[in-house]
Amino acid sequence: PGTPPKPQQKAKQPSSPPLPRQNSKTTPPSPPKIITDAGRSLQFQRVGFLGEGGFARVYEVKDVRGTRLACKVVTKDSLKTKKAKTKLYAEIKIHRFLAHPNIVRFQDCFEDDQNVYMTLELCQSGSLMDMLRRRRRFQEAEARYFMTQLIGACHYMHTHQVIHRDLKLGNLFLDINMNIKVGDFGLAALIENPGERKKTICGTPNYIAPEVLFDTANGHSFEVDTWSIGVILYTLVVGRPPFQTKDVKDIYKRIRDNVYEFPSERTPSHDARDLIQQILTPDPQQRPTLHEIVDHPFFTMGIVPAFIPQSAHDSIPDYR
């Protein structure tokens, strides 16, 4: 392995929350207060702002019946390049056919002169990233609950030939009942031929699998999501990602050399550490399958809460 190549997309600094746009010149105009899907003769009232990502802004909207939804808005100005258009079409093509209780439901997409709109299931309780910031770390029982839902969603995606490629706490949304909803299919890939390998270097530094960075000749496949699942499990129980450092290059070096430690204080249980170590195996072929992961004693020997109370947003529930 040589020097890590530069990811083409989303090479954000680790753990830096998106900053509010500072320069008003770069702020696109807000979408209309009443968003119209002319083709279906539907109207949505814009009632709030939910957040923004790399290329979209997401609003809370209400349809005529009063049902609340999320509406992801991409300005047509940002879709001038062929690359940007291809990326958005791929996101829509993949997301719209996925239907699983732990995946953000895609409802419709439409456009007007200014924007492309995607209406999505509303996740009212923010992301696991927001919740971790408040809680600092999770109980292992909670981690089992969230991980079981995430792995279920990931298994569904993989059996439908979809690799998400950007699984991270910020893309795991929560609905009102604290169920995980995997979102943001902006980097997802569809495997159309069995055995096909993907070559685009993409992901988010802390969560990128080593083969994405260092085995560019061979490419990567479904196992990159398994790697991110290992990084997510570590982050939930320790409170920070395993390979995190200030410099992105150093993160890649640590990923390449498989260098991470468990803190000596409040170290995770033996089963949690063992499972994390198994998942964070550099060779993708040696990584456990999703079935093997849920069969690990971390899941089979520990309690999984039936539900997570709303109070868990800010304080530690008692799961005994």
Which residues are identified as catalytic? 166
The residue sitting closest to ligand ADP, measured at its beta carbon, is: 53
Give me 266's structure tokens: 């409040």
Binding mask 123-162 for ligand ADP (x = CB under 6 A): x---------------------------------------
Contact region for ligand ADP (CB under 6 A) — 47-55, 81-89, 201-209, 300-308? 47-55
- Cα distance between residue 15 and residue 13, in whole Å: 6
- 50 near ligand ADP, rule: CB under 6 A: yes
- 55 near ligand ADP, rule: CB under 6 A: yes
Q: Which is nearer to ligand ADP, 108 or 271 (CB)?
A: 108
Q: Which is nearer to ligand ADP, 139 or 204 (CB)?
A: 204
Does 33 show up as a binding residue in the annotation? no
- 63 near ligand ADP, rule: CB under 6 A: no
**Identified binder of ligand ADP from the candidate list 14, 28, 32, 51, rule CB under 6 A:** 51
**Identified binder of ligand ADP from the candidate list 44, 173, 234, 298, rule CB under 6 A:** 173
- Cα distance between residue 212 and residue 221, in whole Å: 9
Give me 239's structure tokens: 């409170």
- Cα distance between residue 148 and residue 142, in whole Å: 10
Scan residues 233-292 and list those touching ligand ADP (CB under 6 A).
Answer: none
- Cα distance between residue 230 and residue 236, in whole Å: 10
- Encoded amino acid at 43, one letter: Q
Q: What angle (nearest 5°) sits at the alpha carbon of residue 224, between those of residues 3 and 204?
A: 60
Contact region for ligand ADP (CB under 6 A) — 19-27, 53-61, 274-282, 311-319? 53-61
Give min distance, CB of 286 to ligand ADP, in A: 31
Contact region for ligand ADP (CB under 6 A) — 79-87, 180-188, 297-305, 310-318? 180-188
With contact defined as beta carbons under 8 Å apart, do 174 and 123 qualify?
Answer: yes
String of DSSP letters for 123-178: -TT-BHHHHHHHHSS--HHHHHHHHHHHHHHHHHHHHTTEE----SGGGEEE-TT-
Binding mask 101-130 for ligand ADP (x = CB under 6 A): ---x---------------xxxx-------
Contact region for ligand ADP (CB under 6 A) — 24-32, 183-191, 205-213, 258-266? 183-191
| Residue in 223, 260, 219, 218 with CA at minimum distance from that of residue 242 | 260
- Cα distance between residue 253 and residue 280, in whole Å: 15
**Identified binder of ligand ADP from the candidate list 4, 9, 31, 56, rule CB under 6 A:** 56
- 203 near ligand ADP, rule: CB under 6 A: no
Give min distance, CB of 55 to ligand ADP, in A: 5
- Encoded amino acid at 93, one letter: K
**Binding residues with ligand ADP: total (CB under 6 A):** 20
Q: Which segments of 20-103 are extended strands (E)?
A: 34-37, 42-52, 57-62, 68-75
Angle of the 223-238 helix axis to the 270-279 helix axis, nearest 10: 150
The pair phi, psi for residue 106, each rounded to 5°, is -90, 125
- 213 near ligand ADP, rule: CB under 6 A: no
With contact defined as beta carbons under 8 Å apart, do 149 and 217 qualify?
Answer: no
Binding annotation: 72
Q: Kindly list the residues in this chain that would bind ligand ADP in the complex (CB under 6 A).
A: 50-56, 58, 70, 72, 104, 120-123, 170, 173, 183-184, 186
Binding annotation for ATP: 72
